[in-house]
Amino acid sequence: MNWTRFASALMGLTFLIHVFAGGPEVHDQLQTALHDDGLAAFAAILWHAVSVVLAVLAIGLWVLAARHDPSLEGILSAIQIGFAALFVFYGLTRLGTLAPMPQWIIFLSIPALTRFGQFRNRKTRRSVLAH
């Protein structure tokens, strides 16, 4: 099994959840609650920017599954770990709990799965070259 490709699929699923579940649950509510047109526009831009980042992460992981590139892996993982840190920090400091925003779990799980996948792919390539 290509674990990095699986990580890419999970990120693709994360993108779909963000757009189709998060949109009505968070984005639409922000648009209703923000009465200042400038702030509402800024919130929409940020929401859709995250959508773009999630899509690019899924594509980047798909590319990484096909070829080993430590720099690409590092960049993709850093973005996700940064997202996880934001969810943990604001969950704990603003809400006092991580329960309402469990997104940090997926943003730590996917880089871990990617690391495992890249390790397995390198190990498999070395084994093939040795024989």
For the chain, the domain total comes to: 1
Separation CA 93–CA 97 (nearest Å): 8
Reduce the secondary structure of the chain to three states and give it as a string.
CCHHHHHHHHHHHHHHHHHHHHHHHHHHHHHHHCCCHHHHHHHHHHHHHHHHHHHHHHHHHHHHHHCCCHHHHHHHHHHHHHHHHHHHHHHHHHHCCCCCCCHHHHHHHHHHHHHHHHHHHHHHHHHHHHC
For 99-118, write each residue's pLDDT tens digit: 999 999 999 999 999 999 99
Buried b (16+ CB within 10 A) or exposed e, 63-84: ebbeeeeeeebeebbebbbebb
Structure confidence by residue, pLDDT tens digits, 66-77: 998 999 999 999
CA separation for the pair 34, 19 (Å, rounded): 20
In the predicted model, what is the mean pLDDT of the chain? 94
How much is the pTM? 0.91
Among 27-36, 49-58, 88-97, 115-124, the range scoring the smallest mean pLDDT is 115-124
Give residue 77's domain range.
3-130
Q: Please state, in angstroms and rounded to a whole number, the distance separating the CA atoms of residues 11 and 107.
A: 9
